Structure 1
Amino acid sequence: MKRHAAGHAHPRDGKRKRPPSYAKSGRVSQACKTCATSKLKCDEEKPCRRCRDKKLVCDWHGGLDEMTPESPGQGSSYDDPDGQPEYPDPEARVFSPPVPSLGNFPASVENPPQSATPDFQMNGYLPETQTAQDPVSASYDAISPMLDHESGIFSVDGTFFPEFIPDALIPSLSRPNELDPSNHTQDYLHNLFDHSMQFDFDLTEVDFGLIDYFNAQGTTHPAPQPEAQSDVDRGIALGAEAYKRSSLSAWKPAREDHAFADQDDLSVPVAIDSPRSSRSDRQILPERLASGSRDLIFGMVLQTSDKANLPRIMKSFPSTDLIDGLMQDYFAQQSRQLDSFIHGPTFRPNEQSADMLTAVAAAGAVRSAIPTIRKLGYALMEVARLHMSVQYESDNRITRDLRPSQTFALVIDMGIWSGDGRRTEIAESFQQPLVTMLRRALRFRRSIYSTIVPSLDDSDEALEKKWRAWVEQESFKRLVHHLFLHDAQSAVMLNVNPLISYAELELPLPSIRALWDAKSAAAWRDVYITLGLLGTERQPSLVDCMRDMSRLQGGVDTQLAGFVLLQGISAMVSEYHRFNFISKGSSKHWNALVTNSRHQELSQALQRFRMVGYEWSEPPRSEVFLVYEMISMLLHMSLEELQLFAGKEDKREARRVYHSALEWINSIDSRRAVWHAGQVIRAAKAMPAGSLTGFLAVGVYYASLVFWSYSMVLKARNAKSGNPRSSGRTPQSSPTVLLDGEETISVQKFICLGCGRPALQGSQEPAFLSDPGQTMDIAKGLLRADASQDALPPLVQGLCQLMGDLGNAAKSD
């Protein structure tokens, strides 16, 4: 190649010229007869060195004239042993059959073997028996590169390439989609290297550059990658970019990230803080907030704020009515939650500490549909978090008190579901102190809890005392189980190990909700008498119910207890996936039978929970079913690998797990996961508008991620296997399988046999999984609930954006 480049690097005068010498191995203008006959290197100086050394007659006059095309092993296109053709004059025809052959080739080939597209084609490689009228020669001429001998340029289909850059030329000459399928030129090139060549190689003088090039490139072009692989790569790249823009991506601290960054939000505009818009019409608490209690909050804010922000905060700090309305809103929302852990009837705002009031007001504000109020809530949360450490350090006895622990739980609860990377990371790191304080206080054990029941002989004062003691004890029980739920759910969202083990919760499960909601001591006693709970036996714990799920009855809050039990099973599912990750592949120490048996046990445990749920006095609520289906879905897939495939980290990690995704799509587990994901959507449709927040919103996102991954991987698998359904669509004649409907025979056929076209129920027509954009739109519609983008919580906004970007990535394919 270098010799050829040097030969064309000088101006032409209409005649082929070469430089007089070349540094390594110059090409002579004419070889002597002896060297040309032996196909060996000759010298420009005559007589040549080889003839002088061997004492031969060096005849260079007419040395090439006597070599006719008919001479075996010789041809006019060769003048040196390098195997480089000597180009004819520009006036000569480029493709002039018959072409002399390079060696002894068969005159014709019967049924030539099919091979991949050759690396390159040269007209000198055609057998000399072919003529211009032959179909093979004609087809070859149609696609063969044209060579401009003066400029050294190849022309392939109108595209010009420098002839001395073969690596750049080869891909352009091997376009399987553009070549004629009937072209058999590649077969002749294949035969060129499949037969013995009669070359007289002198190993001391021959330049093997061209032979090395052939050995490195091989005789056939490597098989092209399936088109679906490029589609997957494009989807992976777009998915990685979408994940980087989402709130679920890793947080990278910046200079402006600090505890005082949100203090400007502590001042509220007058239009929002007006009496008409701030005071809530509902009064959930026994009393309204007094101005003195509001001043306690204001004083704590001034104490923890930066001096530069004090004038603005003092001028526009929220009024008493606004803070009271936010607190009333929080308890109103808590009354509808399964895991309520602050007792509203005994919560008197004017008797609480400033920390507690600030945290409760912040918890009500972050759930507001007004962005300004939400920002106020997160700013108040930062104030409460900073002040908590001062309180704990000033008096360590409060680590065992109820209200500080509830305040701590509110702060980390707001942070983990805030949708902000900084707040989420801080909340994740602050879970351990609260867990440690409750664990060291023996709040996870049964021994510290006593049986408190009313009696018909109790006086009003004794009954009131029992009721308040029961409320504090019940509040601790609900706080521990709320913290267990929070820990398990955040572990699923962050894909980390939970801090609390399901095996250590031996405290009694929370009592029935009617006792918790009683607004007075007398009402509390009446519930005991009405439900016949005075002689109730020992209340079961989470450990007891995991041993025997039928104990989820009696005097316990079945909805909350079932929710807690599901999260315990969720921790087992996470353990199974971690063990399966270690034992799969070529592990030498672990047996796959153990993991398969564990998978079957967990599947049966979830089935038992479903059957037990039908025996409850009240059917499981929609959020219980949603979490049940979500955990069932997670059992049949690796959440970490699916998130990596969707671009959680980067494109390299996404491509790394691509083969695992292919294995998953070939198993029945993929269709089971898709079915349970559809049931998650079904349960989400039954939820009230605006209630899909926090962990429930994450569950909807994970379901949509299963649909997206299933469609993308199925498309790539079908294309890779040459399946005619490479687009990921099943034939139109196949029945439609609604994944968010009832379990029917067609559903069972889809799960077991892969028959049918999986789809979700759309507003007008089914949304098939082969179109990930439609399924993402359905999931986004559930989270939006006809609300504006600004009215949604930040976490839900981020999930909607991520699902929209993933849907667009799939549409781009």
Structure 2
Amino acid sequence: MSAETDATTIRPSKRARAPSNADNVSSLQCQVCHRTYDRLDHLNRHLDSHRNERSFRCRDCSAAFNRRDLLLRHQSTHAKNAAEGQPNLNRPVERAIKACNACVISKVKCDNYRPCQRCLKKNITCTTQIPDKNNVPVSDSSAPVEQTSDRLLSQEEPRPDLMYPVDAFMDAATLNRGISEIYHETANPPQALSNFFEQIMVTQSDFLATDYLHPSAGLTAWLPETDWLGEVDLFGADFMPAIDETFNSPSLNTGRVGTTTTPGGTVVNDARATNSGDAVRRRHAVFKQSPWFWVPERNQNAFSEQEGITLDERQVDLALSPHQPHASNVVIPGRLSQQSRDQILQLVLKTAPSQVTISSFPSADCLDKLIKVGIAKRTEGDAWIHPYTFHSDTARPEFLTALVVAGCICFGIPSVNKTGLVLQEIVRVSLRELAERDNGVMRELQYLQACMLWLDIGAFCGFRRKMELAESSLQVLVTSLRRAGRFDDVRYSNIVLTSEDDAEELSRKWYQWVELESFKRLVYHLFEHDIYMTMVNHRQPLLSYAELTLPLPASESLWLAPSAEIWKARMMNMQLASSRPSMRSILQEPGSVSCLHAGFDTHIAHSAYIHGLASQVWEHCQQAVLLHDMSDASSQLWSRSRQQKLQECLRDTNIVLDSSTALTCVFQQFLQMYLFADLDTITRFAGRCGEEAAHRAYIALQPWCKSREARTAIAHAGQVLQAARAIPPYQNRGQDSFIIYHSIMVLWTYSMITSDCARKTGFNTPTQVEVAAIPDGPTLVFLDDARCSNQSALNAFIMMNTGIPCLRISDGDAGAQSEVQDTAKSDTCDLRYPWQVMKAGVALLDATHPDVDRETGPPLIRALCGLMEELGGLQS
């Protein structure tokens, strides 16, 4: 053994050389490894090594370090090269064919000369010994990662295809003894070499920044001259991320190369080699057909894809609809006159005189039925259009046409839906032209309500062009309401009733009160719409919860009073509240939302509170992205405490949600999932933004999938699916479909990366036949069961990663398994198999519209199901 090797392996550690007197033990102790320090800056530097965030980055190359002193040491190498006139090469340096023993032990670059330049400079012996193949033990691929370094560092024969010189050309006994002594002296466990899956899953520049190329904090003290990243060339530039195997059926590890197990359990031969970037490119190609990608084409306009208005009035019948268009029992007075019908026809002809063909236009009775269905549907939720003060004779034709569109999409009949899509473009273009002709309409209630109607319909319709236009046009409505002061409390005065009010004065006050309440409900509906767009499209919200100081809307009993006299009677019997709570006030005092005065709409208040928390969750996640690479401990502590506070607030809303709809419960569980999962990174991993973005996302998601945060996220994702099954059939909205899709993507990503991690470490997932053969197998933890049924097993999975996470693939209708899961009518989805996760998601979305063929169902559900089937390899 060389002199350098001897000096390295027998040198005592700094901790061993320290006095062992008990009086010197400091109270500054690391809570992870329980080491103690005398100075706070030493403890902080030690904690940086545990966090492994590599916040200190070199400006001259891609190297990153956990400690500032390591960065300064690395930068001194650049300064030395600059002083000597040597260029800092960013390209990989040519590897040595055989590294000498001294360079192997020190983990530094070697060359092909003997003696090498480093040994010659240090005047030490330079020897190279090739291990005897017959004496080197074969590495057991199924052994645990925690095995000793002699098994981890030995192989049956050299692997030139991996281009890793360390394990191919060294004295195994010398290496094992030297490395193990260093690790034992520094009180660090042996670390396994990088495996093949990690090598092929990252590009060269990203791979050089991974954890296992940086030594532990104790080991760096022994090697002050080592530049860990400067001249390392482990893999060629042609190594690109590829996870083709994860798109296949579960793999059976039998020791043979190229075997794959199909979903039916049949083992087939798979001779294909891992392609560099084919899997990512295929995923990106799939996303080009998703609802998010729209590439504008030349010579295309608003009516290029419209076939014209060919509505058969006989199909506008509630009895012909596959479902009930609305569940409201509100009776809307009045009928659409022939004059109003002609105004709608005139608007269509003026807006698109030559682009849209009209073979026949619906009658006044047909349009009246569609308008009333559109208004009644709005009263099922936050009811932001008042049904009893609506008069078609005085309404703007743009508003009437928007209500016709809202009624068309409720029937579920393809021909009626197509007519609604044509009229939706008419509304969008005519509203823009109306504002150009008369700027005053931008403050009128009907104009703003018509804008909100077409934005609601277009944002989640499933047609890419309409969705992008609706998202980009939302800013106009927000600006109009903000400039009109409708977000502020000062614009909403109290209406005082007296016993002396005659019929005319009472009617005037009622209409004035209805207009103010309509603005309130419109603003809160707009805020919720903006939050949905933010969460599902990953974009900045346009409204702030802090600027909404307008009062909460009045109770539903007051709002749906059919006449001024009934409204007055209910107002006089109801004691007025001393204060007027708003969005800002209920977020300042979270407990106030559960004890509101009877004069306020509790449903809207609860929904507004949840969406206000959603805005704060989004805000926190954006700040966490900025704080991720920072070394400031106080900022990290603030971010963690803020996350815990939001988690507590969302958990406390379970009491509020006892009387809320299933749609609100779905969103509440989605927010808890969103708090622990970065959906933007997950969609990038799935291929949304291309190959390079998928590579970077994979690197970021690897440590996340092993953390408790990931298990917490998938637990809430399972609860999203459980709550979604309680939604009544045909009541699933567009934003709810997106929420279900994103929850499935979180589960799928976790399944993809953890299954690959099991494959690369030798713990391949067993086939279903093998699992069935084990009588006392691991506990199945169903993430989408009711919490009361498996809370202890779920807690054990989150905290200690015990059990196998599973889902239920339901065959029944939506809402059939809201309380108790019918195992006889459902299959088990094992999260170790990614394709089963997508199958569960497709089954759930299909079940939202039972007895409806997917081709004739909602376009958004059709697009999302097709996307999940493509990603999961479930093409049929």
Q: Please, what TM-score do these two structures have when normalized by structure 1?
A: 0.69
Give 1:504's aligned amino acid: E
Give 2:858's aligned amino acid: P
Label 1:573 to 1:218 Cα distance change in 2 as closer, same or farther (>3 A): closer
Label 1:110 to 1:443 Cα distance change in 2 as closer, same or farther (>3 A): closer
Looking at structure 1, the residues matched to 805 and 317 of structure 2 have their Cα atoms a distance apart, in angstroms, of 52
Residue 758 of structure 1: SS of its match in structure 2? strand
Aligned to 2:692: 652
> RMSD in angstroms over aligned alpha carbons?
4.0
Looking at structure 1, the residues matched to 443 and 646 of structure 2 have their Cα atoms a distance apart, in angstroms, of 37
Label 1:256 to 1:774 Cα distance change in 2 as closer, same or farther (>3 A): farther
Displacement of 1:472 in angstroms is: 0.6
Q: How does 1:511-522 map to 2 (within 5 A)?
A: 511-522=554-565
Q: Which moved more, 1:631-640 or 1:323-332?
A: 323-332
Indicate which of 745, 750, 755 corresponds to 1:705.
Answer: 745
Aligned to 1:551: 592
Q: How does 1:215-254 map to 2 (within 5 A)?
A: 230-231=245-246, 236-248=280-292, 250-254=293-297
Looking at structure 1, the residues matched to 333 and 167 of structure 2 have their Cα atoms a distance apart, in angstroms, of 92
Looking at structure 1, the residues matched to 236 and 584 of structure 2 have their Cα atoms a distance apart, in angstroms, of 63
In the comparison of the two structures, how many residue pairs are matched?
A: 619
Looking at structure 2, the residues matched to 460 and 326 of structure 1 have their Cα atoms a distance apart, in angstroms, of 32
Looking at structure 2, the residues matched to 188 and 710 of structure 1 have their Cα atoms a distance apart, in angstroms, of 34
Aligned to 1:539: 580
Q: Which moved more, 1:283-292 or 1:265-274?
A: 265-274
8 Å CA contact retained: 1:438, 1:444:
yes
Indicate which of 361, 371, 387 corresponds to 1:327.
Answer: 371
Looking at structure 1, the residues matched to 735 and 476 of structure 2 have their Cα atoms a distance apart, in angstroms, of 22
Give 1:662's aligned amino acid: Q
Instruction: Check if 1:716 corresponds to 2:731.
Output: no
8 Å CA contact retained: 2:313, 2:362:
no
Label 1:220 to 1:685 Cα distance change in 2 as closer, same or farther (>3 A): closer
Label 1:724 to 1:795 Cα distance change in 2 as closer, same or farther (>3 A): closer
Structure 1: 5+ residue runs without aligned partners?
1-103, 118-139, 145-168, 177-185, 196-215
Displacement of 1:270 in angstroms is: 7.1
Q: How does 1:581-600 map to 2 (within 5 A)?
A: 581-585=625-629, 591-600=635-644
8 Å CA contact retained: 1:508, 1:540:
yes
Indicate which of 714, 719, 722 corresponds to 1:682.
Answer: 722
Q: How does 1:372-411 map to 2 (within 5 A)?
A: 372-411=415-454
Aligned to 1:794: 859
Q: How does 1:750-789 map to 2 (within 5 A)?
A: 750-762=797-809, 763-784=825-846, 785-786=849-850, 787-789=852-854
Looking at structure 2, the residues matched to 521 and 336 of structure 1 have their Cα atoms a distance apart, in angstroms, of 22
8 Å CA contact retained: 1:190, 1:219:
no
Q: Which has the larger radius of gyration?
A: 1
Displacement of 1:243 in angstroms is: 1.8
8 Å CA contact retained: 1:345, 1:519:
yes
Displacement of 1:663 in angstroms is: 1.3
Displacement of 1:234 in angstroms is: 6.5
Looking at structure 1, the residues matched to 589 and 536 of structure 2 have their Cα atoms a distance apart, in angstroms, of 28
Looking at structure 1, the residues matched to 488 and 422 of structure 2 have their Cα atoms a distance apart, in angstroms, of 36
Indicate which of 662, 669, 677 corresponds to 1:622.
Answer: 662
Label 1:373 to 1:755 Cα distance change in 2 as closer, same or farther (>3 A): same
Instruction: Check if 1:662 corresponds to 2:702.
Output: yes
Residue 760 of structure 1: SS of its match in structure 2? strand
Indicate which of 767, 778, 783 corresponds to 1:734.
Answer: 778
Displacement of 1:272 in angstroms is: 4.4
Indicate which of 298, 322, 326 corresponds to 1:255.
Answer: 298
Instruction: Check if 1:291 corresponds to 2:338.
Output: yes
Looking at structure 1, the residues matched to 475 and 131 of structure 2 have their Cα atoms a distance apart, in angstroms, of 81
- Deviation per CA, 1:400-457, whole angstroms, max 9, x where unpaired? 1111111111122222112122112211221112111111111000011011254555
8 Å CA contact retained: 2:725, 2:844:
yes
Displacement of 1:746 in angstroms is: 0.9
Residue 700 of structure 1: SS of its match in structure 2? helix
Aligned to 1:574: 618
Displacement of 1:106 in angstroms is: 10
8 Å CA contact retained: 2:481, 2:487:
yes
8 Å CA contact retained: 2:284, 2:690:
yes
Displacement of 1:598 in angstroms is: 1.7
Looking at structure 2, the residues matched to 719 and 274 of structure 1 have their Cα atoms a distance apart, in angstroms, of 56
Looking at structure 1, the residues matched to 130 and 160 of structure 2 have their Cα atoms a distance apart, in angstroms, of 27
Aligned to 1:68: none
Looking at structure 2, the residues matched to 782 and 526 of structure 1 have their Cα atoms a distance apart, in angstroms, of 46
Looking at structure 1, the residues matched to 284 and 513 of structure 2 have their Cα atoms a distance apart, in angstroms, of 51
- Deviation per CA, 1:108-146, whole angstroms, max 9, x where unpaired? 9697446999xxxxxxxxxxxxxxxxxxxxxx9xx99xx
Looking at structure 2, the residues matched to 761 and 455 of structure 1 have their Cα atoms a distance apart, in angstroms, of 60
Looking at structure 2, the residues matched to 108 and 429 of structure 1 have their Cα atoms a distance apart, in angstroms, of 66
Indicate which of 545, 568, 572 corresponds to 1:525.
Answer: 568
- Deviation per CA, 1:541-580, whole angstroms, max 9, x where unpaired? 0000001122222122222221122112112111222211
Looking at structure 1, the residues matched to 726 and 854 of structure 2 have their Cα atoms a distance apart, in angstroms, of 22
Residue 265 of structure 1: SS of its match in structure 2? coil
- Deviation per CA, 1:233-261, whole angstroms, max 9, x where unpaired? 7664443333222212x210013531232
Residue 761 of structure 1: SS of its match in structure 2? strand
8 Å CA contact retained: 1:453, 1:534:
no
Looking at structure 1, the residues matched to 663 and 236 of structure 2 have their Cα atoms a distance apart, in angstroms, of 56
Aligned to 2:263: none
Q: How does 1:157-176 map to 2 (within 5 A)?
A: 171=161
Displacement of 1:792 in angstroms is: 2.2
Displacement of 1:220 in angstroms is: 12
8 Å CA contact retained: 1:275, 1:321:
no
Label 1:379 to 1:737 Cα distance change in 2 as closer, same or farther (>3 A): same
Label 1:765 to 1:252 Cα distance change in 2 as closer, same or farther (>3 A): closer
- Deviation per CA, 1:148-186, whole angstroms, max 9, x where unpaired? xxxxxxxxxxxxxxxxxxxxx965xx999xxxxxxxxx9
Structure 2: 5+ residue runs without aligned partners?
1-126, 141-155, 176-230, 248-276, 810-824
Looking at structure 1, the residues matched to 590 and 868 of structure 2 have their Cα atoms a distance apart, in angstroms, of 36
Q: Please, what TM-score do these two structures have when normalized by structure 2?
A: 0.64
Aligned to 1:413: 456
Displacement of 1:584 in angstroms is: 1.1
Give 1:476's aligned amino acid: F
Aligned to 1:18: none
Give 2:288's aligned amino acid: K
Looking at structure 1, the residues matched to 232 and 626 of structure 2 have their Cα atoms a distance apart, in angstroms, of 39
- Deviation per CA, 1:695-718, whole angstroms, max 9, x where unpaired? 111111111111111111111222
Q: How does 1:345-364 map to 2 (within 5 A)?
A: 345-364=388-407
Q: How does 1:50-199 map to 2 (within 5 A)?
A: 112-113=135-136, 171=161
Give 2:606's aligned amino acid: G
8 Å CA contact retained: 2:280, 2:687:
yes
Aligned to 2:679: 639
Q: How does 1:414-493 map to 2 (within 5 A)?
A: 414-456=457-499, 458-493=501-536
- Deviation per CA, 1:25-63, whole angstroms, max 9, x where unpaired? xxxxxxxxxxxxxxxxxxxxxxxxxxxxxxxxxxxxxxx
Label 1:349 to 1:343 Cα distance change in 2 as closer, same or farther (>3 A): same
Label 1:378 to 1:400 Cα distance change in 2 as closer, same or farther (>3 A): same
Give 2:532's aligned amino acid: Q
Looking at structure 1, the residues matched to 295 and 577 of structure 2 have their Cα atoms a distance apart, in angstroms, of 53
Displacement of 1:739 in angstroms is: 1.4
- Deviation per CA, 1:603-631, whole angstroms, max 9, x where unpaired? 122123223445xxxx1221111110011
Looking at structure 1, the residues matched to 138 and 352 of structure 2 have their Cα atoms a distance apart, in angstroms, of 76
8 Å CA contact retained: 1:273, 1:319:
no
Looking at structure 1, the residues matched to 591 and 129 of structure 2 have their Cα atoms a distance apart, in angstroms, of 83
Label 1:765 to 1:175 Cα distance change in 2 as closer, same or farther (>3 A): farther
Looking at structure 2, the residues matched to 218 and 658 of structure 1 have their Cα atoms a distance apart, in angstroms, of 21
